[in-house]
A and B are shown apart, each in its own frame.
Chain A
Amino acid sequence: MAQHNLSTVVSFEVARTLGRKRFWLITLFVPVAIAIVIALIVLSNSSAGSSAAAQSDTELSFTYSDASGYIDPAIAGAFGGTAVTDDATAIAAVRTGTTEAHFVFAADPTTTATAVYGADLGLFANSTYGQVATQLLVASSQAKIGDPTLAALAQGNVPVTSTTFVNGEVNPGFGGILPPLIFLVLFFLTFVLLSNQMLTVTLEEKENRVTEMILTTVNPTALIGGKIIALFTVGLVQMFCFALPLLIGYVFFRTALSLPEIDLAGLSVDPWRMVIGALLALGGFALFTGTLVAIGSVMPTAKDAGNLFAGLMILMFVPLYVVSLILSDPHGIVVQIFTYFPYSAPVTAMIRNAVGSLSGGEAAIVIAVLFLLSAVVLRLAVRLFRYGSIQYTSKVSLKTVLSASK
């Protein structure tokens, strides 16, 4: 019967949430917005591509003066340029619209700016003049060097690969940090989406005076457990709705969106770190969920619960403010406090685990603390719900709850 009631609670809670228009309005707002942004980018890129093609068809015609002697007249001619000596006349011709542009290359272009004059093409398109002048200078310089490799080297176009070693093993670098950070992202995403609902998960029973009737048919542990499972299910639906347009955008419009191709081969997955990351996320989730449910059970209204909720969220996010300290001095006193204080531990430990500064012993202690405290807090939450949710208009005191039952 208890198992049956758990599944009944889950199905009721999921169905009632998914059946609400408000839920879908909020949930679909994000993917619709993403889809609109993708559509705008694709359309904009397509339009920009057409204008670029149109621009390439209509070659820029300009005059230039060269005091440096670096400009190759043949290359300049290919760019659409004609050499002149009288800058004043050339500028006057641009001013009257006789010519499109005039470039003045100084004797030393590295110290004196190249001056460009042109007919106004609009705020963004005006940069074309500078780009053409620069390209002309670069192309002429490369031609003077004569060797394309030397020219590339002179520009600093040098690919470098680096390999470092930790305890005799190759350090995977960012490729090794990213996979365990997935759990940190999931942890935050879960709370951004669900924390408010966790807080109010029992408030509806309280505000509608349903608690007493429901507690004679289902025990509070099954009721709260069912509600949390339902929240998770609803959260998965939301995540799927959010991810779908991103996935479609990546698969079908990657080129149009100028998205880089993800090279999974560059990632290095350390199973040990992944397990620790998963346990830290799970323990942190259990602890924060239990605490939010407990707060919701004690407080008479959502508004009252909101104040404590804000404090809890600060504790969750505060390690991000000292992330540079976590990376640079993981064994310092501040980071150690953040690592072992239960409400800042999940985020701190997950970051340290990802960058490899969390030892096995430290991880074991943090995980044990998180799970033990979660069990205590969840038990307390159930007890608070049992007593607090039928204190319909007042806040139940911890002393009363703890002394009221065995």
Chain B
Amino acid sequence: MDFGGTTVVNDLSFDVQRGETFGFLGSNGSGKTTTLRALLGIYKPTAGVLHIDGRPFTPETGPRLGYLPEERGLYKKESVIDVMTYFGRLKGLSRRASAEWSVNYLERVGLGDKARTRVEKLSGGEQQKVQLGVTIMNDPELLILDEPTKGFDPVNRRLLMDIIEEQKTNGATVLMVTHQMEEVERLCDRVILLKDGQAEAYGTIPEVQNQYGGTMIRLVYSGEVPPSPHYEISTLTRNYAELTLADSVDEAKILRDLVTAGVLVRSFTTSKLSLEEIFVQVYGEQTMKAGV
């Protein structure tokens, strides 16, 4: 995907399995939103295509799609029910079915009495609820969420998570872009990490953790942790340290070395690197340079 001679996304290919929740991760400017826009036909890619069930995707003939973009909004001067009915019809529902679905949804989220209210008269939180409703109209088979919780208050964030769970239960495939790593670990089956428009890592969360060396030692101790070529001290306080191990280093050897060095080890636990730690490792330098 090129813009004015600048390649924004390059040689990127990935699969999303039916029914899974797929995390699309990357720092700001790594090409996530551009990739989504190209996949959905909003941008025409320089090369490449989105296949769904082996067929090229188009907005008119594709599966039922729910898309919550990062930059989101609604027609402001029209009533809630008119806006929702319009989007429902564009998504293939009849006028009647669309209106009925909208009324039921508004009742569910506590906006039953606001159906005839102009969108601009709603509060920010209420508009977010309407936005979510428009996204999941016509029971989407594919739900694409770009920074879904951005700007959402805690109530709507919870509503969104419930809706994602519900859609997953109903068999929907979810592709989400987010910076909330705990959400990714909680919700996603597989992830891709995008860096400079290319795939930096791709696979299930354990696979990605393994790809990045993957092991961390959490140490509660007395004494002084000596430096070592076998680990990097990522966190160090008075009695607690986190050591990121280099590849292929035996954890038992580290424990022996520490004891030999006179460290009184009170607790020694090993775990995989969290996605957040991997994210910082992958993008940290870039993000620092960008001043983000």
Contacts and interface: CB of A to CB of B under 8 A. Distances in A.
A217 B91 contact: yes
A303 interface: no
A241 B72 CA distance: 37
B60 A403 contact: no
Contact of A403 (B2, B41, B71, B90): B2
Interface residues of A, number: 34
Majority-rule SS of B interface residues: loop
A400 B42 contact: no
Contact of A386 (B43, B73, B75, B87): B43
B67 interface: yes
Contact of B82 (A4, A16, A386, A404): A16
Interface string B42-84: 1111100000000000111100010111011111111000100
Which one of A5, A212, A386 has the greatest number of beta carbons of chain B within 10 Å? Answer: A212
A404 B43 contact: yes
Contacts of B135: 213
B30 to A, nearest CB: 18
B208 interface: no
A218 B44 contact: no
Given A1-B60, A8-B90, A217-B59, A209 B73 contact: yes
B77 A210 contact: no
Given A2-B60, A208-B74, A390-B37, A217 B4 contact: no
B60 A406 contact: no
A204 B42 contact: no
Given A212-B37, A400-B3, A1 B61 contact: yes
B71 A212 contact: yes
Given A386-B42, A406-B44, A216 B59 contact: yes
22 contacts: A1-B60, A4-B92, A8-B86, A12-B82, A16-B75, A16-B77, A204-B75, A208-B74, A209-B71, A209-B73, A212-B67, A213-B68, A216-B67, A217-B65, A219-B58, A390-B42, A399-B4, A403-B3, A403-B5, A404-B3, A404-B43, A405-B45
Interface of B: 1-5, 37, 40-46, 58-61, 65, 67-69, 71-78, 82, 86-87, 89-92, 134-135
Given A16-B77, A216-B59, 9 more contacts: A1-B61, A9-B90, A208-B73, A213-B87, A213-B135, A216-B41, A217-B87, A404-B2, A405-B43
